[in-house]
Amino acid sequence: MKKSRGFTLIELMVVIVILGILAAVIAPRIPQFVNKAKEGRTKGNLGTLRSTLNIYYSDNDGIYPVDTLTATLVPKYIKKIPDVVCPGSHLDPIATVRADTTAGVLAPIDTSGWNYENTSTEDNWGDICVNCSLHKDNTNAATGSAWSSF
C-alpha cells in the first residue's frame, strides 16, 4: 500500500474556509484595537508626567514648576515631554504643554497636547491633563470620559 503525502483538496478547503471566517470576524475590529493602543499610550504618558511632577515637587520642597515644564523637567527628570495621541480626534500627536490661565479649574481649549496649571496661587497648582474636551475615550462612544478628565 502506498502512503500518500500531503493534504487532500477537501482538507485544504476546510482550512481556507476557517481562515476566511476568522479574518472576517477579526479584520473589522483592527482599527478599534489600534485606537485602544493609542489611548493606552496617552494615559500611560499622562501617568509618567504626573509621576515626574511629583518627583520634581519632592526635590523642590513642595514647589511645582511655574513654566510649561520643558525647561524644568527636561532632561533632568524626563528625556522629553511625551506625545498626546487622542484617538478618533482630528488632532495629530503633539507634545506641547499649555499653561492654563483659567482661574480655579483646568480648562482645556482643545488644541491637543497637555494642559498644565502653573499658577502657584491656584488650588489646583501642579495639575496636568490632556488638552482635549471635545472627544471621548474608547470605553464607550456615548458615555466615555472626555480626554480632559484624565
The full set of domain ranges for the chain reads 9-149
For 82-95, b/e burial (b = at least 16 CB within 10 A) is bbbbbbbeebeebe
**pLDDT, the chain, mean:** 83
Q: What is the pLDDT of residues 44-99, one digit of tens each?
A: 999 999 999 999 999 999 999 988 888 899 999 999 999 888 776 656 777 778 77
Give the rounded percent of residues in the chain with a pLDDT score beyond 90: 35
And the C-alpha cell for 124? 489646583
pTM reported for the whole predicted model: 0.76
Mean local confidence (pLDDT), 124-143: 73
Contact of 106 with 100, CB cutoff 8 Å: yes
